[in-house]
Amino acid sequence: MTVGQLAARSGLSVATLQFYEKEGLIRADRDDSNYRRFHRSVLRRLAVIRVAQRVGLSLSEIRASFHGFRDDEVFDVTAWRRLSSAWASILDAKIADLKTLREGLADCIGCGCLSLDKCELYNPEDRLAADGPGARLWETRGRN
C-alpha cells in the first residue's frame, strides 16, 4: 500500500503515518522507484496503536511493547494476548494514579492554590528540585 492508501484506509493523516514511521512504530519497504510501500499488516498495527493511545499508553510504551514482533507480523489473538499482558502493569499503575487523583479532587481546587494548609503537593521554596524534574510528590504518591 502507498502512504496515501494507508492514510485513506486507516483514517490517519499522512503526516501521522510519517511520524509513526519516524518513531519506529511502523515500517515501510521501498519499491524499485524508491517509493514507500506498507504491508497490509500495518493496518492492524495502526489499530493497536490507536487502542493503546486511547487507554493512555505513551508512544514509547507502545514501541517497547512491540519489541519482539516482526514489522510485518499480523496481530492475531496470540499476539494480542502478549501485548495486553505486557500492558497490564502499565495500565494498573495508570489506574492507581487516576484513582488517587479522583480521591484527591474534593480537597484540591486545581492549584490556584488556596488550600496550602491541606495541599499534599505543596513544595515551598522548590525544596524538591534536587530530587529531579517533574511533579515529584505526585509521581511518588500512591506508589510507596
- Three-state secondary-structure class, residue 129: helix
- Confirm if 23 and 16 have CB atoms less than 8 A apart: no
* 90 & 115 share domain: no
Across the range 84-106, mean pLDDT stands at 82
29: phi then psi, degrees, rounded to nearest 5: -95, 165
Cell of 144: 510507596
Same domain for 73 and 10, yes or no, is yes
pLDDT at residue number 144: 45
Q: Span 33-53, mean pLDDT?
A: 91
Q: What is the residue whose three cell numbers read 495508570?
A: 94
Residue 136 or residue 20, greater confidence = 20
- Please, what is the average pLDDT of the chain? 81
- Both 46 and 86 in a single domain? yes
Percent of the chain past pLDDT 90, that is, above it, reads 38
For the question of whether the overall pTM of this predicted structure is more than 0.75, the answer is no
DSSP string, 97-128: HHHHHHHHTTT--SSS---TTT-TT--GGGTT
Q: Are residues 20 and 62 both part of a single domain? A: yes
Q: How far is the C-alpha of 50 from the C-alpha of 44, rounded, in Å?
A: 10
For residue 17, CA distances in Å to 42, 64, 105 come to 10, 18, 37
Q: Both 111 and 99 in a single domain?
A: no
One domain for residues 43 and 79:
yes
Domain that holds residue 135: 107-144
Q: Give the residue-averaged pLDDT of 134-141.
A: 58
- Residue entry with cell 514511521: 21
Shared domain check, 72 and 35: yes
Per the structure, how many domains does the chain have? 2
Look at residue 22 and tell me whether its pLDDT is greater than 90: yes
Residues 70 and 116 in one domain: no
- Locate cell 487523583: which residue? 101
* Together in a domain, 116 and 70: no
Same domain, yes or no: 57 and 114: no
Is residue 74 domain-shared with residue 130, that is, in the same domain? no
Identity of the amino acid at 142:
G
Same domain, 114 and 87: no
Mean pLDDT of all residues in 12-33 = 94
Per-residue pLDDT reduced to its tens digit, 57-87: 999 999 998 888 877 777 788 888 888 888 8
Q: Residue 76 belongs to a domain with what CATH number?
A: 1.10.1660.10
Distance CA 51, CA 1 (A): 22
